[in-house]
Amino acid sequence: MRKKLTIAVMILTLFCFFFTGCGSIPASPAASSSSQEEDSVPEKDKISVVCTIFPQYDFVRQIAGDTVDLKMLIRPGGDVHYYEPTPQDIIDICRCDLFIYVGGESDTWADSILDSVDGRKPEILSLMDCSETMAEETSEGMWLPSQHEEDGETEYDEHVWTSVSNSIRIVSSICDTLCRLDPDHASRYRERSSAYIEELESLKRDFEEVVQNAQRNIIVFGDRFPLLYFAEEFGLDYRAAFSGCSSSTEAGAETVAYLIDLVRLEDIPVVFRLELSRGSIASAISEATGAEIRTFYSCHNLSRQDFENGETYISMMRKNVQSLKEALN
């Protein structure tokens, strides 16, 4: 409720920006594409694309390179659960040519902004509309805070990009949308998109090979589990401290004990933590069992250092290939 009120106030105050004029709005330096091409497009001729989080931001820069003016709203190292748009973010959303967001329950703030725009609106692309969605689920032993009340409505897992097949669908949809909005550069978008999809298909085959040659098919996360689509795609069983959309960071003693007992019983060699996580539960499990701790990248966001070092969706997922191979053998 507080976030909705904050956004409503921002929207009202931003009318002065539109009527007085703000000049050009540069992309965030921390989130702008670093690629430079010899045949780069003049700034005035670029279409503007605003993405909420890293996966679609990276997909756009792989498809478009320096052809578009690209911005990512959630800064590297930021937590989407605590994000509130700044006045500049709202202006950028309203003025862009293409706005790409996840489109789930956590993005209702964006719907409020878009609904408030009169006249010209940006093209909108939702990742969940490009994907086969799955309902959020809980696994055996998972921590469920007593204060959580079911409202009877189905909650869908929003982390659709963790399925490589879904990512291929998303990339195709982004490419089609860019070609329609910017037909002068359609051949470039299609060529780069085709090459990128080949990389994604190779990545998918690598995961399939790891799973097919594994000694077990269960993975353990001492953390949230935003990898429901990933587990479904590759036929993996899982146990975790929290569901993918949980905002909890501390599990009850019974959940930690359950995971410790499971790791001991199944002689599981690796317990996972997520990127940008404190990893306290994974550490407790490791100390009690001797299992190694490995980071599994959900690619929801990345650290500022990783961003500046040029990490991509594929580079992080390839790290997951190696970690998964260790965990399943």
Question: Mean pLDDT in the chain?
Answer: 86
Mark whether 297 and 202 lie in a shared domain: no
251 pLDDT band (50/70/90 cuts)?
low
Residue 10 placed within a domain:
no
Domain end (from 151, 183, 206):
206
Residue 42 is predicted with a pLDDT of 67
52 pLDDT band (50/70/90 cuts)?
very high
Domain end (from 147, 181, 206):
206
C-alpha closest to that of 327 among 261, 273, 251 = 273
Mark whether 201 and 232 lie in a shared domain: no
Residue 38 is predicted with a pLDDT of 42
Domain end (from 191, 206, 221):
206
Mark whether 56 and 194 lie in a shared domain: yes
Cα(94)–Cα(124) distance, integer angstroms: 11
Mark whether 62 and 193 lie in a shared domain: yes
Residue 145 is predicted with a pLDDT of 61
Mean pLDDT value across residues 245-270: 86
Range of the domain at 235: 207-327
Q: Is the pLDDT of residue 4 over 90?
A: no
Q: Is the pLDDT of residue 182 over 80?
A: yes
Mark whether 259 and 197 lie in a shared domain: no
Mark whether 200 and 213 lie in a shared domain: no
Indicate the range of 79-83, 166-170, 242-246, 247-251 predicted with least confidence.
247-251
Mark whether 172 and 184 lie in a shared domain: yes
Residue 5 is predicted with a pLDDT of 40
Mark whether 59 and 191 lie in a shared domain: yes
Q: Is the pLDDT of residue 40 over 50?
A: yes
Which CATH number covers residue 71? Answer: 3.40.50.1980
The total domain count for the chain is 2
Q: Is the pLDDT of residue 28 over 60?
A: no
